[in-house]
Amino acid sequence: MFRRIGKVVVRHPVWTIVAWLIAAVAIVATAPSLPSNSDESSFLPKSYESIKAADLQERAFPSAFTPSAIALYQRADGGRLTADDKKDVARITTELGAKHIDQVQKVVPGQPSEDGKYTLTLVQMDSKNAGQPVQADAAKVLRDDVKQLAKGTDLEVRLGGSAAQALDQQDSSKRGEALIGIGTFVIILVTLLIIFRAPILAFLPLITIGLVSAIANGLISYATKLFDLQANSSVSSILIVVLFGVGTDYFLFLMFRYRERLRAGDEPKEAMINAVGRVGEAIASAAGAVIIAFLALVLSTLGFLKQMGPALAIAVSVTLVAGLTLIPAVVSLIGPKVFWPSKSWQREPANARFAALGRGVRRRPALAAAASGLVLLVLSLGTLGYKATFDLASGSMPKTKESMVVQDEMQKAYSAGAAAPTDVYLSSADGKPLDQAGFDAYARKLGAVDGVASARMSQVNKAGTTADFTVTLKYEASTDKAIDAVGRVRDVAHDNAPQGTEALVGGMSSIYKDIDSAVNHDYRTVFPVAAVLIMVILGLLLRSVVAPWYLIASVGLGFGSTLGATVWIFQDAQNKPGLMFMLPVIMYLFVVAIGTDYNILMIARLREEAREGRDPREAAGMALRHAGPTVAAAGFILAATFATMMLAGNSLLTEMGFAVSFGIAVAAFVMAMFFTPSLTALIGHAAWWPGHADRAEPGAGTDGPSPAADEYQAAGRPG
HSE-CB at 432 with a 13 A cutoff on CA atoms is 6
Rounded to 5°, angle at Cα 107 from 103 and 108: 155
Tell me the whole-structure pTM to 2 decimals: 0.76
The CB density around residue 183, as the number of other CB atoms within 10 Å, is 21
Q: Is the dihedral of CA 69, 75, 81, 83 positive or negative?
A: negative
Cα dihedral 181→183→189→190 (10° resolution): 180
8 A C-beta contact, residue 122 and residue 67: yes
Q: Interior CA angle at 296 toward 294 and 299, to 5°?
A: 135
pLDDT, tens digit (0-9, with 9 covering 90-100), for 175-187? 767 777 788 788 8
Please report the pLDDT score of residue 73 as a whole number.
Answer: 95
Query: Along the chain (719 residues), what's the average pLDDT of each consecutive run of 10 residues?
Result: 90 93 91 60 78 90 80 92 94 92 89 90 82 84 93 92 83 72 84 87 88 88 74 64 82 89 90 90 86 85 79 90 93 90 71 81 91 92 88 68 85 73 91 90 94 90 92 85 93 93 92 89 86 86 86 88 93 84 80 79 87 88 88 87 78 84 91 90 87 60 43 36
Could you tell me which residues come within 8 angstroms of residue 636 by beta carbon, excluding any fewer than 6 positions away?
191, 665, 668
Residue 700: what pLDDT?
45
Phi then psi for residue 162, to 5 deg, are: -65, -40
pLDDT at 715: 37
* Per-residue pLDDT, 272: 93
Q: φ and ψ at 496, to 5 degrees? A: -105, 5
- Give the model's pLDDT for residue 716: 38
Q: Which residues fall within 8 angstroms of residue 289, CB to CB, at 6 or more apart?
A: 534, 537, 538, 593, 596, 597, 600
The closest alpha carbon to 667, from 615, 607, 603, belongs to 603
Q: In this structure, what are the phi and psi dihedrals at residue 106, rounded to the nearest 5 degrees?
A: -145, 145
Q: What is the pLDDT of residue 350?
A: 60
Q: Are 192 and 6 in contact (CB under 8 A)?
A: no
